[in-house]
Structure 1
């Protein structure tokens, strides 16, 4: 019986295969984390101002968050809005979540992942 050769190439191929298999799981996890943050009244707090499908007791100050991927095909634009909408619209009521360190870059990215599923 012949054993698999233990070469660096084999390890690299196994690592790539493992990464590809984990990709969808990580993406689903980011979406779930983003939804949790968006619905969290103490952290992301998106529901205070926005209607979001699946959210309880939404506000009506901001626009309804739907069809986000078609409205913002450039992911970076949505990240910038959440980070500091005052740069684009100085009169906005939306807090600058990133600038004020309410949300980390990773948390903003997770929220964007979630919003792009709406």
Structure 2
């Protein structure tokens, strides 16, 4: 007898849910990349070099190794939402405060940036 008896249907359901979670995470990352590279919405490439992006700007720092630099995703989210709280002299627009991006869109961009 096993310590955690499971019925085959429960195992199938768990496997399905795990697959859905992975697919959603991949979709969120792809959505975040699309927003980051979109010249009309996220527009990160205007100021930042991002691997895979065309015609990047150099005003801001290169966006790489962000998961290492910001292991707490909330800090990176706050920077995108309104960097003026940390640095009043920043040139970075307050994407969340000014409602340029929704919280969901900012979350997707953070998901993408953490893969760089």
TM above 0.5: yes
2:84 aligned with 1:107, yes or no? no
Alpha carbon RMSD of aligned pairs, Å? 1.6
Of 50, 60, 74, which residue of structure 1 is paired with 2:58? 60
1:10 offset after TM fit, Å?
8.5
Q: Deviations over 1:31-57 (max 9, x none)?
A: 100000000000000000000000000
How far apart are 1:14 and its partner, in Å? 5.4
Which residue of the partner structure matches residue 49 of structure 1?
47
SS across alignment from 2:56: coil
Give the SS at the match of 2:63.
coil
Separation of aligned partners in 1, 2:28 and 2:40: 19
User: What residue ranges of structure 1 are gaps of 5+ in the alignment?
Assistant: 1-8
1:72 corresponds to? 70
Deviation at 1:21, TM superposition (A): 1.6
Could you say if the C-alpha distance between residues 100 and 12 of structure 1 is closer, same or farther in structure 2, counting changes exceeding 3 Å? farther
- SS of residue in 2 equivalent to 1:18: helix
Flag the structure with larger Rg.
1
Question: Which residue matches 2:90?
Answer: 92
Aligned counterparts of 2:14 and 2:59: Cα–Cα separation in 1: 46
Please list every run of 5 or more consecutive structure 2 residues that lacks an aligned counterpart in the other structure: 1-6
TM-score by length of 2: 0.88
Q: TM-score, normalised by structure 1?
A: 0.87
Aligned pairs, number? 110
